[in-house]
Chains A and B, each alone.
Chain A
Amino acid sequence: MKKSNIGKMLILFMLAAIMFSMNGCGAKPQQKTVSDSTELDSPLVIRLEGGDWGFPSPFAHYSRGPGMSKMRLIYDSLLEKGEKGLIPWLAKEWTISPDGREYTFVLNSGVKWHDGELLTAEDVKFSFEYFTKHPPVSNSLLIDGKPFIDKIEVIDECQVKITVNEPNATLLDRLGIVRIIPEHIWKDIEDPKKAIDLVKLVGCGPYTLTDYNQEQGTYRFQAFEDYWGPKVRVDVIEFIPVSDQVLAFEKAEIDLLDVPADLMDRYKNNEEYKILKSPAFWGYRLLFNMEKKPELSDVNTRKAIAHAIDVDELIEKVARGAAVPASPGYLPIDHIWHNPDVTKYEFDIEKAKELLNNKSLSLTLLISDDQKEARIAELLKINFAKAGINLEVRTVDMKTRDSQVKEQNYELALIGHGGWGQDADCLREVYGVTVARDASPVSNVIPGYSNPQINELCQKQLSELDEQKRKSMILDLQKLISDEIPLLPLYNTVEYMVYKPEKYDGWVHVFDHHAVTHNKLSYLEREK
Chain B
Amino acid sequence: MKYQKAIRYLLTFFCIITLNFFLPRIMPGDPFYFLSSEQGEITITYSQEEIQRQKAYYGLDVPVLTQYGRYLKNIIKGDLGYSIYFNNDVRLIIKNRIPWSVSLVLLSVIIGGFIGTLLGCLSAWYRRGVLDKALYSLMIILSEIPAFLIGILFLLFLAARQGLFPLSGGMKPFAEYVSWSSRFLDIALHGFLPALTLAVVQMGGFYLIARNSMITVMSKDYMTTAKAKGLSTRRILFRHALTNAALPIVTRAFYSLGQAVGGTILVENVFKYPGLGLLMRQAVMVRDYPLIQGIFLTVTFFVIIMNLAADIIYKKLDPRII
Contact = CB atoms under 8 A, between A and B. Distances in A.
Interface in A237-274: 238, 240-244, 247-248, 250-251, 253, 258
Interface in A122-171: 135, 137-139, 142, 144-146
A282 to B, nearest CB: 5
A262 to B, nearest CB: 15
Nearest to A23: B96
A214 B93 contact: yes
Contacts of B156: 247
A138 B41 contact: no
A405 interface: yes
A14 B271 contact: no
B36 A368 contact: yes
Given A64-B44, A145-B50, A18 B99 contact: yes
Interface size of A as a range: 35 or more
Contacts of B270: 243
A195 to B, nearest CB: 11
Nearest to A54: B87
Contact of A135 (B34, B53, B100): B53
Contacts of A97: none
A31 interface: no
Contacts of A193: 57, 87
Interface in B149-189: 155-156, 159-160, 163, 167-171, 173-174, 180, 183-184, 187
A145 B53 CA distance: 11
Nearest to A26: B174
B272 A243 contact: yes
Interface residues of B, number: 63
B44 A417 contact: no
B299 interface: no
B174 to A, nearest CB: 5
A50 B180 CA distance: 26
Given A22-B187, A405-B35, A399 B88 contact: no
Contacts of B28: 396, 399-400, 403-404
Interface in A200-250: 211, 213-218, 220, 238, 240-244, 247-248, 250
A138 B82 CA distance: 20
A24 interface: yes
Nearest to B54: A135
Contacts of B50: 135, 139, 142, 145
Contacts of B43: 63-65, 417-418
A14 B87 CA distance: 31
A368 to B, nearest CB: 7
Interface in A482-528: 493, 495, 514-515
A416 interface: yes
Nearest to B110: A11
Contact of B103 (A18, A54, A238, A243): A18
Interface string A433-457: 0000011111010000000000000
A241 B93 contact: no
Nearest to B272: A241
B44 A243 contact: no
Given A24-B96, A145-B50, A243 B167 contact: yes
Contacts of A418: 37, 40-43
A444 B41 CA distance: 19
B99 A22 contact: yes
Given A18-B102, A54-B86, A400-B28, A137 B44 contact: yes
B27 interface: yes
B29 interface: yes
A419 interface: yes
B51 A399 contact: no
A19 interface: yes
Contacts of A405: 35
Contacts of B286: 399
B45 A442 contact: yes
A444 B45 CA distance: 11
A344 B85 CA distance: 41
A93 interface: no
A144 B274 CA distance: 39
B88 to A, nearest CB: 7
A511 to B, nearest CB: 15
Given A24-B96, A244-B155, A64 B41 contact: yes
Interface of A: 11, 14-15, 18-19, 21-22, 24-25, 50-52, 54-55, 60-66, 68, 135, 137-139, 142, 144-146, 193-194, 196, 211, 213-218, 220, 238, 240-244, 247-248, 250-251, 253, 258, 282, 368, 372, 396-406, 415-419, 438-442, 444, 493, 495, 514-515
24 contacts: A15-B106, A15-B107, A62-B86, A64-B43, A65-B43, A66-B41, A138-B44, A139-B50, A196-B87, A216-B274, A218-B173, A220-B173, A240-B168, A243-B167, A243-B271, A258-B40, A397-B285, A399-B287, A400-B27, A406-B33, A406-B35, A417-B36, A418-B37, A493-B40
Given A18-B99, A50-B173, A441-B51, 12 more contacts: A21-B99, A63-B34, A196-B88, A216-B170, A216-B173, A243-B168, A247-B167, A282-B40, A417-B35, A439-B47, A442-B46, A444-B35
**Which 5 residue pairs across A and B have the least CB separation, nearest first?**
A145-B47, A243-B168, A399-B29, A145-B49, A65-B42
Interface of B: 27-30, 33-37, 39-51, 53, 57, 82, 85-88, 92-93, 96-97, 99-100, 102-103, 106-107, 110, 155-156, 159-160, 163, 167-171, 173-174, 180, 183-184, 187, 270-272, 274, 285-287
